[in-house]
Copies of this chain bind each other. A is one copy, B any other.
Amino acid sequence: MDERESESRHRVEIPPSKPWSKSLQSSLKETFFADDPFRQFKNKPISRKIVLGLQYFIPILEWGPRYSFEFLRADLLAGITIASLAVPQGISYASLANLPPVIGLYSSFVPPIVYAVLGSSKDVAVGPVAVGSLLIASMLGKEVSPTENPKLYVDLVFTATFFAGVFEAALGFLRLGFIVDYLSHATIIGFMGGAATVVCLQQLKGILGLVHFTHSTDLLSVLRSIFTQTHEWRWESGVLGCCFLFFLVLTRYMSKKKSSFFWINAMAPLTSVILGSILVYFTHAEKHGVQVIGHLKKGLNPASESELAFGSPHMGLAIKTGIITGIIVLAEGIAVGRSFALFKNYHIDGNKEMIAFGVMNIAGSFTSCYLTSGTFSRTAVNYNAGCKSAFSNIVMATAVMITLLFLMPLFHYTPLVVLSSIIMAAMLGLIDYNGAIHLWNVDKFDFIICISAYIGVVFGSVEIGLVVAVVISLLRVLLFLTRPRTLLLGNIPGSMAYRSTEQYPAANSVPGILILGIESPIYFTNSNYLRERISRWINEEEDKLKDSPATDLQYVILDLSAVGSIDTSGISMLDEVQKSMDRRGIKLALVNPGSEVMRKLGRSKFVHKIGEEFIYLTVGDAVNGISFMLHSHKSKAVQSEDVNIGNNIV
């Protein structure tokens, strides 16, 4: 290596070491403030900062002053449209949670108002969610029966809602919103599909007009419960249910075909309720096996802060239920908000949304509401109806308020079977076959995660499905880090690039030099594997070269471009690889270690051990440098060569 060449070479320096406190600070910032929320506050006078801060925490202060009459007209229309969906849905979902129907309406009154003030999405419409309702019923129902001890059950539901709110708000305040990301896309598809299946099965109770029904949610218990009481099935109820279900599914299908027909879908539940009630009122079907809602208490939400069961022996259960249901409905709400924000190309802040959802649920638990979140169906209708801001939530709340104050008697004759049909129709839309097929086509492992979640929910319970899916998702990630790919690299003809010979069969290997790429960070999880794998590559290469006595393996180049990070186990591994190669007379060279990797290699003296001159910027540089050494010496005595190289460079 002559003077000229060693000068033109690009060196990989050990980056200057940052103080520990500084690097900690920057990594904390990247972890918790990845979206840089303080960016807008920079270089502003203090008064402006206060205004911005208030607007940050209370978004209505930000968009309220800019609110125009045109927006109002759009929001009025959208709000009334979602109210017509919200009333029957509220009643239905409350019954899914084994709660008195009126609580479903309460929950569509206070929380939407709170969200309108605090939420940062323009499209999200809030209210009770099906999966959350089901989860509450199945988790709390295990310890307290809603039929035998209704007062305690309702109190526990409020308590769980309170803790769900506290947990959600805490996640937001502590900027731990990324925990929601751990529910992957595949998990959510499988989990939602499973929950929808379970909810549909539960509705068979209503559709078949059964009075007794299992409290379990798994497929086998439900089927057993249904088929052991075939003599209790009521055909009147069944026929009515199937008709309404058909009507609802048909309207959804139509509105899907043409998006300007969205209002058909939005109005269908209310239409069903009205039709069903009229039918029952005139035929007196309630005396022929068709169960009806019955008397509903008029009036707005009563205060319920004194009913929170803080001292109860079931407190632990309420906390657990709150946390699990809280995070799940939060995931749904955030996902819904993000999707629609993407359509309209604005940004929503996940952590801020969590605080909004959390405060909304805390406020709800004080005013006889149960768990609410941003719901997919209402939000979709809201969006299609042309909403412009969160004000449509206030319009919806006002409509619900009017219902609560004056229209409650109208629901007396509403048949339960219509509610079951509404729930079932909504649930059928949540089973995302196409999503699952897409997963199968694109990523088999994601499909496995999805199916595990589905099977876990349907045959086990909602919690089992969730835990199974999250664990498998994490195992997949860990598996990647436990068995990372190592690639044999070769030169792409006509370029300086070195790429995997498997992906680019045209890539040429360099005689006497083995070039390996490592495709993941080197951590304790994979350092033993990588050591063995590298030695296997070397063995295989030596076996290959046995037949051609002209060249033998003299250099191994490790391309660290894809190694984002390394820990001490990884450094020990490199150390051991280098030692064992030394013994076999092979020299190790590294290519393109990142700044963190380079810093740690420097601190652990590994750079010193392999020689700074054996760390190259690109594989091309490394091959050039090494080929030069190989040719200028043409000696197989590696040791004497090493000395020569050392002399030339130092």
Q: Using a CB–CB distance below 8 Å, which chain A residues touch chain B?
A: 8, 10, 15, 20, 24, 27, 30-31, 34-36, 178, 181-187, 338, 342, 345, 347, 350, 438-439, 441-446, 473-474, 476-485, 487, 492, 494-497, 499-500, 502-503, 519-521, 523-529, 532-533, 535-536, 561-565, 567-569, 571-572, 576, 579-580, 583, 592, 594-596, 598, 600, 603-604, 617-618
Contact = CB atoms under 8 A, between A and B. Distances in A.
Query: So how many copies of this chain end up in the complex?
Result: 2
A110 to B, nearest CB: 30
Q: Is the interface of A mostly helix, strand, loop or mixed?
A: helix
B178 A482 contact: yes
Contacts of A342: 576, 579-580
B474 A478 contact: yes
Contacts of A183: 524
Nearest to A602: B442
- Which one of A30, A496, A520, A564 has the highest number of Cβ atoms from chain B below 10 Å of its Cβ? A564
Given A347-B535, A499-B617, A519-B564, 8 more contacts: A20-B444, A34-B483, A184-B569, A185-B524, A442-B604, A443-B568, A495-B618, A562-B563
9 contacts: A181-B524, A184-B568, A342-B579, A345-B580, A474-B478, A497-B618, A519-B594, A561-B561, A561-B562
The 5 closest A-B pairs by CB, nearest first: A184-B524, A519-B564, A503-B595, A562-B562, A185-B569
Contacts of A185: 524, 567-569, 572
Contact of A564 (B474, B503, B562): B562
Contact of A494 (B8, B503, B603): B8
B181 A600 contact: no
A503 B576 CA distance: 27
Contacts of A562: 561-564
Find the residue from A444, A473, A519, A592 having the highest chain B CB count within 10 A: A519
A568 B520 contact: no
Given A580-B342, A594-B503, A571 B524 contact: no
A588 B214 CA distance: 54
A521 B572 CA distance: 24
A338 B347 CA distance: 53
Contacts of A525: 181-182, 184, 477
A456 to B, nearest CB: 18
Nearest to A473: B524
Given A480-B521, A595-B503, A181 B34 contact: no
A479 B31 contact: yes
Contact of A10 (B187, B497, B572): B497
A572 B519 CA distance: 22
A254 B536 CA distance: 40
Task: From A34, A481, A529, A567, name the one whose CB has the most chain B CB atoms within 10 angstroms.
Answer: A567
A179 to B, nearest CB: 9
Nearest to A524: B184
A572 B184 CA distance: 11
B524 A617 contact: no
A485 B36 contact: no
Nearest to A497: B618
B595 A502 contact: yes
Contact of A186 (B31, B181, B536, B567): B567
A493 to B, nearest CB: 9
A524 B345 CA distance: 22
A490 to B, nearest CB: 13
A638 to B, nearest CB: 16
Contacts of A482: 31, 178, 181
